[in-house]
A = this chain, B = another copy of it.
Amino acid sequence: MGVAHTHAWRTAPRFFPMAAPPELALLVGRDEARTRAAADRLEIAEIETDWRRAVEREDIDVVDICTPGNTHAEIALAALAAGKHVLCEKPLANSVAEAEAMTAAAERAAARGVRTFCGFSYRRTPALALAKRFVEEGRLGEIRHVRAQYLQDWLSDADTPLNWRLEKDKAGSGALGDIGAHSVDAAQWVSGQLIEGVSAMLHTFVETRPLAGTAQGLGGSAEAGAPSGPVTVDDAAAFTARFDGGAIGVFEATRFAQGRRNANRLEINGSSGSIAFDFESMNTLEYFDARDDQAAQGFRTIQVTDAVHPYTDHWWPVGHGLGYGDLFVHQVADVVAALQADTAAHPDFAEALKVQRVLHAVEASARNASRYTSVDRPDSQD
């Protein structure tokens, strides 16, 4: 993430005109030698090993937090207190309580003109941004269905060793927070509706895995008797949802879907049209318009690379697609544009908190025999 962010800060001003291009003043990392090496490669002059020094410096305007989730709150709170704008990687925090504290601090800081942003980078995909525009233009009519899947497969092999993403105390949750969070954010953002309640199932397919370093061979196959440890997060999450605008949703997130490398999918069906997106084909959007004459109706495969599409007018000729790394460039462009115009950019901490609350309700429902659980009151039994 650090590389992607740094690359984006460098690249954005070359493609998106900016009154004042951002300067990368300081790289912070805990290990001095490694931080120095990274700063050299990334052409950043100064380093620090204590993030507090960054927050104290007068010449720093923006703090970009790419650390693990359990450190977000402390850093962000300090940065906001010091009057820095903050861009924080998703998930906003590892708990709703922390996210609430951050959002409260963000609201206080906003009174002094300080802005917050959360790094739900998939929003910067031109095709998803176009989908949102289509919804706002009323092309889909009344929205009925939201269908979101985030399917990966890199844990399919039971002999893949344990890593921190499989340990609850570090990662917070598994597929749910890692990739399901993106689905929840995209679903709410594109549909323009918020999730009111969920009925959820979490599941762990492989309950113990070999410890890293003990596995043998290319296939990662563990020796018999090799030391192993418990997986303490969900391998997969599935839930149904009700939205505040009347839509219903079906969500699924997993890292066990063999052959699905990064199938971040969103489909929305309305009374007069539909959109469908899959990140594995990130430069296209499927769009169905029920108002087309009946003989000629069909899902259109829009190549979202045209001058009239979001972001793409800053890049290449039509038909010359973008890549994953370019999403972070868009994020920087949006953040800088907001700061220079002194306007809001989505999503801020308050909006990211709404995602966090949905994830919390999912976990509560899963613990409670999948019972329908309100996002606002996840612990009530009504």
Contacts and interface: CB of A to CB of B under 8 A. Distances in A.
Interface of A: 3-4, 6-7, 10-11, 13-15, 41-42, 130, 133-134, 139-140, 144-145, 147, 149, 152-154, 156-158, 199-201, 203, 205, 236, 238-240, 242, 246, 248, 250, 252, 254, 256-263, 267, 269-274, 279-285, 287-290, 292, 294-303, 305-306, 308-309, 315-326, 369-372
A203 B197 CA distance: 14
B296 A302 contact: yes
A369 B365 CA distance: 11
Nearest to A201: B240
A87 to B, nearest CB: 19
A64 B156 CA distance: 45
B144 A205 contact: yes
A297 B259 contact: yes
Interface of A is mostly: mixed
Contacts of A371: 369-372
Contacts of A297: 259, 300, 302, 306
B256 A144 contact: yes
B270 A258 contact: yes
A263 B147 CA distance: 14
Contact of A145 (B15, B256, B262, B372): B256
Contacts of A279: 319
B318 A324 contact: no
A158 B258 contact: no
Contacts of A319: 152, 260-263, 279-280
Nearest to A293: B308
24 contacts: A4-B316, A147-B252, A152-B319, A153-B290, A158-B271, A201-B240, A201-B372, A238-B248, A254-B269, A258-B269, A258-B271, A258-B272, A258-B274, A259-B273, A259-B299, A260-B269, A280-B321, A287-B298, A292-B300, A296-B300, A298-B303, A300-B300, A321-B323, A371-B372
Contacts of A322: 323-325
Given A201-B240, A250-B252, A259-B299, 7 more contacts: A14-B41, A156-B290, A199-B200, A236-B248, A296-B302, A298-B302, A371-B372
Contacts of A370: 199, 240, 370-372
A7 B315 CA distance: 12
A295 B306 contact: yes
* Of A152, A297, A372, most B-chain CB atoms within 10 Å: A297
Given A145-B254, A269-B257, A274-B257, A299 B296 contact: no
A267 B15 CA distance: 34
Contacts of A158: 271
A141 to B, nearest CB: 8
Contact of A296 (B252, B261, B272, B287): B287
Given A10-B10, A261-B305, A248 B199 contact: no
